[in-house]
A = this chain, B = another copy of it.
Amino acid sequence: MSSDPVMINAFDPRRASELPKSEQILLDRRQRLLGPAYRLFYEHPLHIVRGEGVWLYDAEGAAYLDAYNNVPSVGHSHPRVVEAIARQASQLNTHTRYLHTGILDYSEMLLASFPGELSQVMYTCSGSEANDLAVRVARQFTGGTGFIVTRLAYHGVTDTIAAMSPSLGTQVTLGPHVRVVPAPRSASTPAKAAVNAEAAGTGDRQVGRDFAAGVEASLEQMRSLGIKLAGLIVDSIFSSDGVFADPPGFLQEAVAAVRRAGGVFIADEVQPGFGRTGDAMWGFQRHSVVPDIVTLGKPMGNGYPVAAMVSKPEVLAPFGRHCRYFNTFGGSPVAMAAARAVLEIIVEERLRERALETGQYLRRGLAALGGKFEVIGDVRGAGLFIGVELVTDRATGSPATRFVAALVNELRRRRVLISASGPGANVLKIRPPLAFGRAEADILLGELEASLAHLPA
């Protein structure tokens, strides 16, 4: 039994004595200096000292294929990002209360990747801060306080946003005006069906109807309790809910219902954004909806702390009339230089296109594994955000929770890094840097097949 039932793939500190002495010393220092709230990954935590491209290296020099980390999306330690940071840091790093062209030039580049209505941007340090700001903006615009989130949503760690992130576990209390709805279910259960659906570009409209029905039920409950709606916020790839991308368009009915009720739609693009979903720069574009507010983060500076909130001007206006906003480090010259380098690399190295191609290749390979291994119940996702649902029984879809935990740790032993998500902790979460190519996909598929063959079902 894990010491933390909520966090998937967490190291259990009670097993520290099984580790090499040198690592026990690091664990003791961590516990003593950083206290009890931090978690490490894996049964045997990783001590990483270097990263390059899609590879991480441990203290002994062993190389690990990184199929998990979405922050270093243009590749670990990308020299052009390092160079951009160092150059700007050696010139100037002030704040948004002085004029600086860096923030204006980057904002123009960034906003050009959005539908025209989404034409203003504000900067923060983290996705948490961006979502926190989005909540404040949505409240001012709507005059409402009610928010709808999905069952296992994760939107961040500030007090307000943790209270809108049920994936943090039941001991983090949800806000009194927060309502939880079921995430959109993948319509296709067997692995092959998912791949076929993708090939045909069609899908079951029932997914969108079901999701909208959940949202409508929450709206009705809010009305009966006298809670005025502020909005619906979703991670447009539903990462912690278990990765749901199909059929394209499934968000439309729910978004329409929220708008009819006077609320806004906030797309949390902290995880799916910046080209990861392959078919577009932003995850919401897969669903042909235009959000009122969009939040960005993680890969935006390839590890440099920078995040943002993009908004329709009419949605932002009431906040701007009532509140000023200053974020000491948000939108600083160095943050903008890092973000600009990342955006240029995504375009010039065609990383979105690469994510699309490699993602299709990888899902095809995973679906083929589904033909060999009964435990694979579904393969889904978009671009390089992939979920593989493992089940003990394809007919019932019963989650193969323990098997997935063993599999993630077996892959770590084989030096391939992934994790898991979903309510049953049974969905492999494959989310490599976008520089991942076919060669790396083949390594991942090979080690996954070997692990599946090796582990007792």
Residue of B nearest to A38 (CB): B96
How far, in whole Å, are A304 and B327 apart by their CA atoms in the complex? 13
Residue numbers in B under 8 Å from A82 (CB-CB):
86, 89-90
Which of A23-31, A213-221, A257-265, A423-431 participates in binding chain B? A23-31
How far, in whole Å, are A316 and B38 apart by their CA atoms in the complex? 12
- Assess whether A33 is in contact with B89, with CB atoms less than 8 Å apart: no
Chain A, range 80-131, C-beta contacts under 8 Å to B: 81-82, 85-86, 89-101, 103-104, 107-108, 111, 119-122, 124-129
- Assess whether B107 is in contact with A129, with CB atoms less than 8 Å apart: no
Chain A, range 293-332, C-beta contacts under 8 Å to B: 297-298, 302-306, 311, 313, 316-317, 319-332
Residue of B nearest to A125 (CB): B125
How far, in whole Å, are A45 and B100 apart by their CA atoms in the complex? 11
- Assess whether A34 is in contact with B107, with CB atoms less than 8 Å apart: yes
- Assess whether A97 is in contact with B41, with CB atoms less than 8 Å apart: yes
Residue numbers in B under 8 Å from A39 (CB-CB):
97, 324, 326
* Cβ-defined partner of A91 (8 Å) among B27, B49, B332: B49
Chain A contact residue count (CB 8 A cutoff): 106
- Assess whether A99 is in contact with B325, with CB atoms less than 8 Å apart: no
- Write out, one digit per residue, whether chain A residues 224-246 have a CB within 8 A of any chain B CB (1) or not (0): 00000000000000000000000
- Assess whether A335 is in contact with B34, with CB atoms less than 8 Å apart: no
At the interface, yes or no: A172 with Cβ under 8 Å from chain B?
yes
Residue of B nearest to A327 (CB): B157
Residue numbers in B under 8 Å from A4 (CB-CB):
324
Main SS of chain A's interface residues? mixed
- Assess whether A313 is in contact with B35, with CB atoms less than 8 Å apart: yes
Residue numbers in B under 8 Å from A332 (CB-CB):
303, 305
- Assess whether B121 is in contact with A34, with CB atoms less than 8 Å apart: yes
* Cβ-defined partner of A33 (8 Å) among B38, B104, B125, B330: B104
- Write out, one digit per residue, whether chain A residues 165-188 have a CB within 8 A of any chain B CB (1) or not (0): 000110110000000000000000
Q: How far is the CB of A141 from chain B (nearest CB, A)?
A: 12
At the interface, yes or no: A193 with Cβ under 8 Å from chain B?
no
- Assess whether B111 is in contact with A89, with CB atoms less than 8 Å apart: no
How far, in whole Å, are A4 and B133 apart by their CA atoms in the complex? 20
Residue numbers in B under 8 Å from A103 (CB-CB):
34
Q: Quickly give the copy total for this chain.
A: 2
Which of A69-77, A384-392, A395-403 participates in binding chain B? A69-77
Residue numbers in B under 8 Å from A304 (CB-CB):
89, 93, 305, 329, 334
- Assess whether A135 is in contact with B121, with CB atoms less than 8 Å apart: no
Chain A, range 30-62, C-beta contacts under 8 Å to B: 30, 32-41, 45-51, 56
Q: How far is the CB of A335 from chain B (nearest CB, A)?
A: 7
- Write out, one digit per residue, whether chain A residues 1-32 have a CB within 8 A of any chain B CB (1) or not (0): 00010110010000000000001001101101
- Assess whether A316 is in contact with B35, with CB atoms less than 8 Å apart: yes
- Assess whether B34 is in contact with A120, with CB atoms less than 8 Å apart: yes
Residue numbers in B under 8 Å from A159 (CB-CB):
132, 135-136, 158-161
At the interface, yes or no: A162 with Cβ under 8 Å from chain B?
yes
- Assess whether B91 is in contact with A77, with CB atoms less than 8 Å apart: yes
Q: How far is the CB of A129 from chain B (nearest CB, A)?
A: 7
Pairs A-B, 6 closest by C-beta atoms:
A36-B320, A125-B125, A93-B303, A86-B86, A305-B329, A159-B160
User: A-side interface residues toward B, CB under 8 Å?
Assistant: 4, 6-7, 10, 23, 26-27, 29-30, 32-41, 45-51, 56, 69, 71-72, 76-77, 79, 81-82, 85-86, 89-101, 103-104, 107-108, 111, 119-122, 124-129, 132-133, 135-136, 157-162, 168-169, 171-172, 297-298, 302-306, 311, 313, 316-317, 319-332, 334-335
